[in-house]
Each structure stands twice: as structure tokens, then as C-alpha cells.
Amino acid sequence: MADQALYRLDGKVAAVAGAGSGIGEAVALGAARLGARVCCFDVDETRARAVAERAGPGAEAAALDIRDGAAVEAAFDALRQRAGRLDVAVCTPAINVRKPILAYTEEDFERVMALNVRGSFNVLRAAGRIMTAAGRGSIVLLSSIRSQVVEPGQSVYAATKAAIVQLVRTAAAEFAPVRVNAVAPGVVDTPLTAPIKANPSWYEAYAAKSILKRWASPDEIAAPTLFLVSEAASYVTGTVLFVDGGWTAIDGRFQPPGM
């Protein structure tokens, strides 16, 4: 059995963007439980501070809009100066405007691209500069099953999640020995998916689509994310880890007769 110490984050400094809710919150709390000194970044500073308080002594929080590249650079540099290092960076924020392509406006397009792609890129670049200079570290960005499979109304969101995959692969090639990976969730019970959960038929349809026939909790996405940033994943880089209950492994729900 692998040494359990490999999964620990003792002595590590972790920056979690989007830590105020959902998957980011679960990642921040999980990293703290594993021994990391966590900085909870979120556009909503009140929520970030509430999560930091739950994370325990040593955790901190700050307001950060990841769409602002200069602000991200400054925040990450300040964290490195305070803590003396930066070992882990995880970026989780995303939005989705569900509309057919022909109904999409330029404003809709820019809004989704600005957060999902530019925001993720800003975190990737800021963390990468610090980590490559130090010669160590691990970065995880959040992709999605929508990088592979789509449905009507998901065009721009899906495009952003596919873009994140290629950003991760390129950064892994450029940043080594710093490791860069992506986690691609299926349907997760978070504020982003609240409109779906509010519609019982839609909610159940999504649950039925996966092999496990249910939605994921944020903790179930946080655990694989924390594996990727730990030393247990020391030879994993440039990859996409699908955490989707088997959604992308099957191509339908019909069961042939006799099966």
C-alpha cells in the first residue's frame, strides 16, 4: 500500500481561487485538513473569509477577481512573500450562459470567456511564474465533461472547458518540473448547477446519465483534485482526470434485451 504521507500536504502553501463556495470551498477545506496553509481567494470576500475560518489556524482569505490579470499576479506574489513559497494552485470559478448559438450575444460570449478562459489563464500564469522560478509546485484547473460531450445550449461553456484542457497540456510542457493537470467533473451539486437542481425532471435526467445514477458532491471532486496536487501524483502531469460517475464512458441509457 502506498505511504499515506504521500497524500498529505504538510508544509505546503496552497492558493485556491473560487474558495467561497462549491468545489473551491471543498478543495480549500480539504487542503487544510491535509496540512496545507491555505489562502482562500474569491470574488466574494465575505464567503472566502467564512471558509478560511472553517479551515482553521493559518488559513487566510482575500477578495480576488481572477478576470483581472494584474490583480491575480499581485495577490499570488503577496501570498508568496507572506508565506515564503507557493506549492499548490487550484482554480475553480466558472459561469455558464445556456443559450442556443443563434441567441448568443457578444456580451454573453465575452462574459463566459472572460471568467472561464481568461480567469483560468491568469491563475495559471501567475502561479506558473512563481513555481517555475522555484522549480516545484502543482497547478490544477477545472475543465468539465463538456470538453468532450455537449448538448444544446452549451456551446461557449463547452468551448471554454476544452480550451482549459489545451492550456493545461501546454503549461505542463512549458513549466516542468512543475506539474499541471485538469479535473473534469460531471454534474456536481454547486451554485452553478442550482437552476438544474430546481427542475426535478432535468435533475433526474442528469442523474440517470451517469453510470452511478447520481450527482456528485463537491467533496467528491475535491478529493481527486487534492490527489493531483499531492506527492502521490508526482508522475502525473499534462493530464485530464474525469470525475464524472462514468458519464463519458457510456453512450446511452438503453439496455438491450437480454442484457
What are the cell numbers at 191? 451554485
**Cα(130)–Cα(124) distance, integer angstroms:** 10
Assess if residue 197 is contained within a domain: no
Assess if residue 254 is contained within a domain: no
**pLDDT higher than threshold 80 for residue 251:** no
CATH number of the structural domain spanning residue 156: 3.40.50.720
Assess if residue 28 is contained within a domain: yes
Please report the pLDDT score of residue 1 as a whole number: 43
Determine the average pLDDT of the residues in 59-74: 98
Assess if residue 246 is contained within a domain: no
Q: Give the range of the structural domain holding residue 59, as residue numbers without chain letter.
A: 9-183+219-240
pLDDT band at 128 (very low <50, low <70, confident <90, very high): very high
Predicted structure pTM score = 0.94
What do you get for the CA distance between the two ends of the chain, in Å? 36
**Cα(38)–Cα(82) distance, integer angstroms:** 12
Residue position matching grid coordinates 490583480:
71
pLDDT band at 256 (very low <50, low <70, confident <90, very high): low
Spatial neighbors of 98 by CB under 8 A, at least 6 apart, are 153, 154, 157
Active site amino acids:
157
Q: Shortest CA distance to 183 belongs to which of 217, 141, 215, 218? A: 141
Could you tell me which residues are beta bridge partners of residue 14? 38, 88
Assess if residue 20 is contained within a domain: yes
Assess if residue 124 is contained within a domain: yes
pLDDT tens digits for range 176-222: 999 999 999 999 998 878 888 888 888 998 999 899 999 999 999 99
Assess if residue 159 is contained within a domain: yes
Determine the average pLDDT of the residues in 108-114: 98
Spatial neighbors of 22 by CB under 8 A, at least 6 apart, are 92, 188, 190, 191, 192, 218
Number of domains in the chain: 1
What are the cell numbers at 240? 485530464
9 touches 226 (CB < 8 A):
yes
